Amino acid sequence: MTVTQTQIQVPAGVDTLLHTTTECLRFVTEFFEVISQSAPHIYHSALQLVPHSSMVRKLYSQQIHSPMPRVVTGIPTSWDSCTASASVASKVGLAVWSPCGQFVAVCFGDDIEVRDPNTLEILSILKAPLDDAKSALELLSTIGVPLDAAEATARSLCFSPDGRLLACSYPFPW
């Protein structure tokens, strides 16, 4: 027994259909970044990079374009655990999910970066007005108070329960 889905044949059965659905979800999640820029990337980029073991590759391999550039070796055998990554300016930091799961707030330094939870792209930056505090720290350090403005990075980050407010604590007493 088979179920027809447009031009492909998916073997029926709860497990197979569930697996296929999971694979399709994984496909969209993995390649959301490039597909969201242009739908033809489904064929140009995404299908070409699908792991060998993926049901999506088995179902749609005939529709993979053979363009240049072409991946000669290195197509993964299975899905990678990492679905998105991004570079940040500093070495240590904090990150917290919004209660709704629609945003990720990341603090690497003073300012807060609000990022997309699927692609980790920056959506906005919340500026932290800390210049006065850091200047004061530097002034104190010049008179011998052992404080280092460079080390004064954020310590805790949290959303309000309704997701409307975001708070960050810094190691300045004023």
Partner 1 sequence: MILVWDFRTGVVLSKLGVDWGQKIAFSGTQQIVSFNDFNSSLITINIYDTLKGTLPRYGQHSTSGYGRLGDYWIHEGCLRSATSSKKDGKCVVIIREFQPTSNRPDPVVGSFPVPPHDGVFSFSSVSFHASFVTETEVVILDVRNSETLLREKARQPFYRPQGYFSPNGHFFACGTRGQDIFVWKNTPTGYVHWSTITPRLQFLGFSFSPAAVSILTWGPGKIQLLHLEAHDVASPNKFHNGSENHLVTHSTDRTRIATVRRGKGVITVLDSHSGDLQQSIDTGMLIQDIKIVSDAIFVTDGHKLVNWHLKPGLAHNVRNARKGTVDMTLFNRPVPCSALSNDCSKIAFAGKEGSFAGTMGSLAELPRYVAAERKTVVTICNINAPNTAVPNNSRHYLDLYMHPHLLNARLIDTHTINPRVAEYGHDVLNIRFSLDERRMLLITGNVSSASCSLELGLTEDWRIGDVIEDGTDPWSRTDSYSSDGCHVGGGSQWVMDSRHRKLLWLPPSWRTLFPYDIQWIGNSLILLSGVHPEPIIIEF
Q: Which is nearer to partner 1, 59 or 137 (CB)?
A: 137
Q: Which is nearer to partner 1, 4 or 85 (CB)?
A: 85
Count Cα atoms within 13 angstroms, Cβ side, for 118: 13
Nearest distance, CB of residue 8 and partner 1, angstroms: 24
Contact 166, 157 (CB under 8 A): yes
Q: Which is nearer to partner 1, 8 or 79 (CB)?
A: 79
Nearest distance, CB of residue 171 and partner 1, angstroms: 5
Eight-state DSSP code of residue 3: E
Nearest distance, CB of residue 44 and partner 1, angstroms: 8
Find residue 40's DSSP bridge partners: none
Eight-state DSSP code of residue 129: -
Distances (CA, A) of 55 to 8, 13, 37, 60, 81: 12, 14, 24, 9, 17
Nearest distance, CB of residue 160 and partner 1, angstroms: 4
Q: Which is nearer to partner 1, 62 or 78 (CB)?
A: 78
- How many residues would you count in the chain? 174
Count Cα atoms within 13 angstroms, Cβ side, for 138: 7
